[in-house]
Amino acid sequence: MTPQTGGPAAPTPYELPLIGVRLSRRLAVGGTLLLLLAVVACLLTGLSPLLPIFLALLALVAVSPVVGLGYALVVLNTPLGLWFLRVEGVVGDAFGGRDYALGLSAAVVACVLFALTVVLHRWTRRQVIGASAALLAVGVWSLIGFAHHGVAQTLVGVRLTVLPVLLLVVLFSLRLRQVLPLMTVLAWVLVANAVASVGELAVGPARLVRWGFEEDTAVRYIGDTFRVPGLTSFNAELGILAGAYLLGYVVLWLTPTARPKRLSWHAGGAASVLCLVLSTSRSGALLVAGGLVAAVVLNRSGGAAGRRRARIVGLGVVAAVAAGFVALGMAGASSLFQRFDVWAKLFAADLPLWGLGIGGVGAATTSRVTSSQQIFIDNYFVSVALQFGPVVGVALVAVTGYALWWLWRRTAERPGAVLFVALLAGLACSFLVIEAWEYPGAMMCLGIFAAYGRHLDAAGLPPDGATDATPEPTAEPAAPPTIPTTIDRPTAR
């Protein structure tokens, strides 16, 4: 029997979790009564009555990908703002004074959404093999970490390493009409960070410290220059987030069929420039510069005139960002040479061929549960070599180079692949000076742009103004290689 095409197609089981959950009246009443009983039980046992309420809200958020990912996006990229508004304190009190509960809830939501995606996804043999190899690698190097620096620190490292992958898998499972709202939420998150940055600059670091902002974390300096944190934890986190958004936004302008038209996206682009300059994050600036240079140099699509205009726009943005850093007196490279000395000393020590295990270096060593010396790397390629061994570190560099070459060849036929070139090249450049992978908020930003570009590249859908009526591809599109989805010195996560 030929299926009807006049109306909307009935949702398949795989699509159901992407729509949400409809509660019947009876189920809603039963759930409300159960929640009230849980609140009473908490009062009688001395627990916070807010605990079951927050858990219920978290469960509702976690079953809807758009709402859940939007929640994670806000929590990961505005932690300082949520602390200032006392949201973090309220949630922490609900969990017995654990102030990290709110931040951890974003990882829980990501894990639930990932589990739903995995269970309902139609797996191919190649995907099963890749997932099995990844699970085996995480398991083996987790055991090495348990033996080297303990279970708690290793689990923190596992969360920092795996969370961007989980978010990327969920983002790539979304339809275009589900990615667009996340792009808008991301833009307004950047606007909110820009407003907060200007306010912090106007208030001044001395008053911020009196308000409770932590020195050497939220309030930091380079010389006499105040490094603004915005709504993130510290300036490097703001800079890498702003650089990720600015890179994706400008590259969309360099692709004629993907130029953004929404006002909120333009506001986010302007806000990202302001955040990047006020944060004085050279790591974020390098992410933008490296990605844009790769986008204009490795682009094989369009005519010569179009590529020439793209070069002018891309290099113009790089020059503007560089001029802003020079104007602020942040053009020095002394800290980079200090990092060379640190890397040399780390490799000079006795390093096993299999590495130190997950969590052996980086942000996991600054966690409240750390059991070893704090080790800052400021280079994710070096971090991978220390955690997984030199062989894996070299393999990561080789895979990154191959992926760039593969995407470069693809740009001749698929102009949308230019976005993937820029994101991967920018990320690789940021890896040279910061553990960018350990900044889940910024990695989620890159993941949203990657998910958006996947639809542009695979189906040729109009990039903006798409509605629910936009036809979806009938066949499963061929996904490009996974783009890795936090200061210069990471703090405790």
Residue range 320-332, pLDDT digits in tens: 666 655 555 545 5
Cα–Cα distance, 259 to 237 (Å, whole number): 27
Render 271-305 in DSSP notation, one character per residue: HHHHHHHHHT-HHHHHHHHHHHHHHHHS---S-HH
Cα–Cα distance, 150 to 142 (Å, whole number): 10
Cβ neighbours of residue 446 under 8 Å, at least 6 residues apart?
A: 244, 247, 248, 423, 427, 483, 485
Cβ neighbours of residue 319 under 8 Å, at least 6 residues apart?
A: none
Contact predicate 470/461, CB 8 Å: yes
Burial class (CB in 10 A: 0-12, 13-18, 19+), 402: exposed
Nearest Cα neighbor of 404 from 245, 259, 295 is 295
Stretch 36-42: mean pLDDT: 85
pLDDT of 469 > 50? The answer is no
pLDDT of 243 > 50? The answer is yes
pLDDT of 473 > 50? The answer is no
Q: What is the pLDDT of residue 484?
A: 39
State how far Cα 33 lies from the chain centre: 38
Among residues of the chain, what percentage have pLDDT more than 70? 77
pLDDT of 393 > 70? The answer is yes
* Span 400-451, pLDDT tens digits: 999 999 988 887 777 778 889 999 999 999 998 889 999 999 999 999 999 9
Cα–Cα distance, 111 to 57 (Å, whole number): 16
Strand-pair partners of 221: 226
Render 468-483 in DSSP notation, one character per residue: TTSPPPSSPPPPPPPP
- The reported pTM is 0.83
Q: What is the pLDDT of residue 375?
A: 80
Q: What is the pLDDT of residue 465?
A: 40
pLDDT of 83 > 80? The answer is yes
Q: Which residues of 63-87 are buried (b: 16+ CB within 10 A; e: fewer)?
A: ebbbbbbbbbbbbbbbbbbbbbeee
336/273: higher pLDDT: 273
Q: What is the pLDDT of residue 144?
A: 93
pLDDT of 3 > 60? The answer is no
Amino acid, single-letter form, for residue 424? L
pLDDT band at 317, cuts 50/70/90?
Answer: low
Stretch 296-319: mean pLDDT: 64
Contact predicate 382/393, CB 8 Å: yes
Q: What is the pLDDT of residue 388?
A: 93
Render 54-81 in DSSP notation, one character per residue: HHHHHHHHHT-HHHHHHHHHHHHH-HHH
* Span 333-353, pLDDT tens digits: 555 556 666 666 666 667 788
Q: What is the pLDDT of residue 231?
A: 94
pLDDT of 193 > 90? The answer is yes
Structure tokens at 288: 């933008």
